[in-house]
Amino acid sequence: MKSKIITVGDEILMGHIVNSNSAYISDKLYSVGLPVEQIVTVGDNEEAILTELRNSFGIYNVIILTGGLGPTHDDITKSVLVKFFDDELKFDEKVYENIISLFKIRGISMPETNKEQAMVPKNSKVIWNKNGTAPGIWMEKDDKILIALPGVPLEMKPMLDESVIPSLREKFSESETQVQKNKIILTTGISETSLFELLGNIKDITGDDCKIAFLPSFPGVKIRIDASDVNEILVNEKISEVEKKIRAKAEDFIYGVNDDKLEKIVGDLLVEKKLTLSVAESCSGGLFASLITDVPGSSKYFLGGVCSYSNESKIKLLKVKKKTIEKYGAVSKETALEMAVGVRNLFKSNVGMSVTGIAGPEGGTENKPVGLVWIGCSFENKTFTAKHLFGDNRLRTKLRSVMMALSLLRKELM
């Protein structure tokens, strides 16, 4: 059982957009026992798409093709499909009604061009698209399946989740002989190599049945455990056995598993301990508050933040002493501390955190280079600060300083 993804679009080959659809689709196919063996991107070009279909149809149980289903002249997927399957297009009344109703909801009249989108291959099953005008197409031949979906993620994802994946699960549920699963262990504060050495002999950890892989990432290295067996219970046992051995050696560096987000983990800790948080930001420029508020329900513990981009606002809003800034500078241990205390007082929160630094590209000096960041924290009757050097990339420094602040806060709350 295996699958393949074909992504169609000149804009991907030219580097104008990142192919994020493939990651989403891969993850879902893996979960129904159809691991992706290959992802190929080709242009909006009939011959290139046909060649790819000819080379791969029949080899994979399922091929998912995305892109090229739009209403304009550069969308050619449907015409390629009818050529490949020796089929023809027919007008589908129901699809047409769906398109009309979508325009009605938006309160705009339907451009004539969209009518063409109601044409679908005769021997296909239509996959409904409730978020856009391009229907998905499901075609089969000799028990092999080809599914064409729109390239717009907001349309593709619900179609995949609500129609394609349930249908595939049903279709292949009986033929499954092996269950494949994986689990990601998230670490921070240790390099890939040091982690590798800390774990020692990999075979002692995995045995003969499992695999582990190291994925350098941010805010730290991920360890992926892979296992397969005849049923889910046995797979889970194998994975938890490996996880236990990893934790025995590297527990100090592990902050979560799978899709866990540091901001969510910190949020859960705040809820658990019934604490509230406020943040004062200089170089992170609002990103700290933004990451925290990405978490649904964060209003329970996050009272708010001040982005004090000017010295005046640090003094006026956060009550940082003017002479502190004059003597030590806006990027200093002392200012970071007063910002943390100040924002905590301002919002009357249990915890106050601050980030001040030089995001660059300008503003660095020999003593205070671009990338220098001070993080401050005021909690209960104590305060602490941390100094970091995050390098010369502005956006990276913003992100790193926020992730580091979250990481410090997590440790403090534990």
CA–CA gap between residue 50 and residue 47 (Å, rounded): 5
Exactly one of 235, 254, 341, 346 binds a second copy (CB under 8 A); that residue is 346
Of the candidates 149, 156, 292, 340, which one interacts with a second copy according to CB under 8 A? 292
Stretch that binds a second copy, among 233-241, 248-256, 307-315, 333-341 (CB under 8 A): 307-315
Check binding of 101 to a second copy (CB under 8 A).
no
CB nearer to a second copy: pick between 110 and 140: 110
**Per CB under 8 A, does 272 bind a second copy?**
no
* 167 touches a second copy (CB under 8 A): no
- Quick check: 364 binds a second copy (CB under 8 A)? no
Interface residue with a second copy, options 1, 13, 89, 126 (CB under 8 A): 13
- Nearest residue (CB) to a second copy, 16 versus 382: 16
Query: 340 to each of 322, 332, 343, how far by Cα in Å?
Result: 15, 12, 5
Residue nearer to a second copy on the CB measure, 14 or 414: 14
C-beta closer to a second copy: residue 88 or 111: 111
Candidates 173, 175, 231, 299; binder of a second copy (CB under 8 A) is: 299
Say whether residue 409 binds a second copy (CB under 8 A). no
Handedness of CA 332, 400, 254, 276 (dihedral sign): positive
Judged by CB under 8 A, the chain residues 172 through 201 that form the site for a second copy are 182, 184, 191-194, 196-197
Buried/exposed 143-154: b ≥16 CB within 10 Å, e otherwise? eebbbbbbbbee
Q: Respond yes or no on whether the N-terminal peptide bond of residue 219 is cis (omega within 30° of 0).
A: yes
> Which residue's CB is nearer to a second copy, number 154 or number 414?
154
Helix (H, G, I), strand (E, B) or coil at 393: coil
Name the E strands within 136-210: 136-141, 144-149, 179-187
Least distance to a second copy from the beta carbon of 314, Å? 9
390: contact with a second copy by CB under 8 A:
no
Question: Which residue of 107, 142, 177, 296 would you call a contact of a second copy, by CB under 8 A?
Answer: 296
* Burial class of residue 333, CB neighbours in 10 A (0-12, 13-18, 19+): middle
Q: Does 248 bind a second copy (CB under 8 A)?
A: no
What is the C-alpha separation between 214 and 143, in angstroms, rounded? 37
Please, what sign has the CA dihedral across residues 391, 393, 394, 399? negative
| Residue selected from 307, 351, 403, 406 as contacting a second copy according to rule CB under 8 A | 307
Q: Coil, strand, or helix at residue 261?
A: coil
Q: Determine the size of the site formed for a second copy (CB under 8 A).
A: 100
- Where residue 201 falls (left for φ over 0; alpha for ψ -120 to 50; beta otherwise) is beta
Q: What does the block give as tokens for 402?
A: 């926020």
Least separation, in Å, of the C-beta of 369 and a second copy?
14
205-224 mask for a second copy (x: CB under 8 A)? ------x-xxxxx----x-x
Residue 13: CB partners within 8 Å, gap ≥ 6? 41, 42, 43
Residue 275 is a binding residue for a second copy (CB under 8 A):
no
Strand 3-8 relative to strand 36-42, pairing = parallel
Question: Which residue lies nearer to a second copy by CB, 129 or 139?
Answer: 129
Report yes or no: 301 and 267 within 8 Å, Cβ to Cβ.
yes
Which of 302, 374, 379, 390 is the binder for a second copy (CB under 8 A)? Answer: 302
- Residue 27 found at the interface with a second copy (CB under 8 A): yes
Instruction: Judge whether 331 and 356 are in contact, CB under 8 Å.
Output: yes
**17 interacts with a second copy by CB under 8 A:** yes
Residues 59-98 that bind a second copy (CB under 8 A): 70-74
Decide if residue 26 touches a second copy (CB under 8 A).
Answer: yes
User: E strands, 125-169, where?
Assistant: 125-127, 136-141, 144-149
Cβ-based nearer residue to a second copy, 139 or 308 = 308
Radius of gyration of the chain (CA): 27
Is there binding between residue 105 and a second copy (CB under 8 A)?
no
Buried b (16+ CB within 10 A) or exposed e, 225-254: bbbbbeeeeebeebbebbbebbeeebeebb
- The stretch near a second copy (CB under 8 A) out of 78-86, 108-116, 120-128, 246-254 is 108-116
Stretch that binds a second copy, among 167-175, 229-237, 238-246, 391-399 (CB under 8 A): 391-399
Query: What are the helix (H) ranges across 329-393?
Result: 333-347
Q: Which of 298, 335, 354, 407 binds a second copy (CB under 8 A)?
A: 298
